[in-house]
Amino acid sequence: MTKVLLLIDIQNGFCPGGNLPVADGDIVVPIANSLMESGHYDLIVASQDWHPADHGSFASQHPGKAPFDMGELSGQPQVMWPDHCVQGTPDAAFHPELLTAKINYVQKKGQNPAVDSYSAFRDNDKAALTGLAAYLVSKDVKELDIMGLATDYCVKFSALDAVDMLPGVKARLIADGCRGIDPKGVEEAIEAMREAGVDIIESSGITL
């Protein structure tokens, strides 16, 4: 029975000093490291936002739009983000203190400039798959623990897609291993995940 830890976007861009920082985002790094070193997991997977410089979710690509304005992308409402996690830049790199040598598989996402990709599993229009679900199925995943950044965006969409795309897999959110952008949005995200069947746990409750 394969137990997998999925780390969502623990990158410089989402940590203090990055282009789209989540408050206290770096707090999740020692939790991730501790879990990776615990021996509890058979497989460690990490997602990585990996945008082209002209990504359509960037406010800079829309004249008259400022970061955090609402716009439209791929026919859907879209938050216009600051340029972040551009391929090959330090902003897109994993946090320097993250034990990347422990990671078995990295799933890059957000590479299509025409659509955003919050989930580690597929684009926001739900058309193109990243390949992560197929990879996890090939590894016979049975338990999937999810943590990272940000709770109310990429973590939430990844957890909901895990439930949707990996039937029979037990999905859990490690709540203290996440940080979010908007406090109200975090509450709503956790409730949405719980309603979808994701167990909400703390890292201290994970036992071998």
Rounded distance between C-alpha atoms, residue 6 and residue 76, angstroms: 27
SS3 at position 146 = strand
Q: Strands of 2-8's sheet, edge to edge?
A: 105-109, 43-49, 2-8, 141-149, 170-179, 199-201
The answer to whether 90 touches 18, Cβ cutoff 8 Å, is no
The answer to whether 20 touches 14, Cβ cutoff 8 Å, is yes
Rounded distance between C-alpha atoms, residue 120 and residue 61, angstroms: 23
Told to judge if 109 belongs to the known catalytic residues of this protein, a careful annotator would answer yes
Catalytic residue among 49, 123, 152, 154: 154
Told to judge if 9 belongs to the known catalytic residues of this protein, a careful annotator would answer yes
Catalytic residue among 26, 109, 116, 161: 109
The answer to whether 133 touches 165, Cβ cutoff 8 Å, is yes
Please report, for residues 48, 146, 199, the alpha-carbon distance to residue 43 in angstroms, rounded to integers and kept in the order given.
17, 12, 20
Name the nearest CA neighbour of 92 among 6, 34, 11, 23. 11
Rounded distance between C-alpha atoms, residue 208 and residue 202, angstroms: 14
Catalytic residue list:
9, 109, 154
